[in-house]
A = this chain, B = another copy of it.
Amino acid sequence: MATVKLSFSPAPVHVRTARLVGVAVARRAGVREDLLDEVRLAIGEACTRAVALHRQYGLAEPVYVEMSDGGSYTVRVVDRAPIEAGLGLAALGPDELAKESLSEDALTTGVGFALLAGFVEDLQVRPVDEGVGTEVRMAWPAGRA
């Protein structure tokens, strides 16, 4: 089982690096070409969320991404923010999205989760096993036929 691990300071510019790596490793793991746009978007959303949380809580610690290739292509994005995250977030409907009172940040977060949930069939969001933080775990079918 090949594994690639990436960690980066919580800055927006590195989210692009994470997308780049995530898609390169997916391609090499044999994820279908027509799924790679989803992989790119989903890894980007998970990392964007993690970076936003680290900045919001003033955490200089790195965001951690682990890509592994054993049967399926699995990507874990780990943040260290002291919140209880989950997939519980109800998707925002068009009326809520258009409301003046919804801040751009809240909208972006809601839309980010909608994209994750919409594009990743095999998605888990749960507290990390040790310490503080949340893990977003995504998996796609892989393996060269």
Contacts and interface: CB of A to CB of B under 8 A. Distances in A.
Interface of A: 1-9, 11, 13-14, 16-17, 20-21, 24-25, 28, 62
Closest A-B pairs by Cβ, 8 of them: A2-B9, A5-B7, A4-B8, A13-B28, A17-B24, A6-B6, A3-B9, A21-B21
A112 to B, nearest CB: 22
A4 B7 CA distance: 6
Contacts of A7: 3-5
A30 to B, nearest CB: 11
User: Can you tell how many copies of this chain the complex includes?
Assistant: 2
A11 B16 CA distance: 24
A127 B13 CA distance: 32
A11 B2 contact: yes
A17 B29 CA distance: 12
A6 B7 CA distance: 6
Contact of A4 (B3, B6, B28): B6
Contacts of A16: 24
A28 B16 CA distance: 10
A144 to B, nearest CB: 12
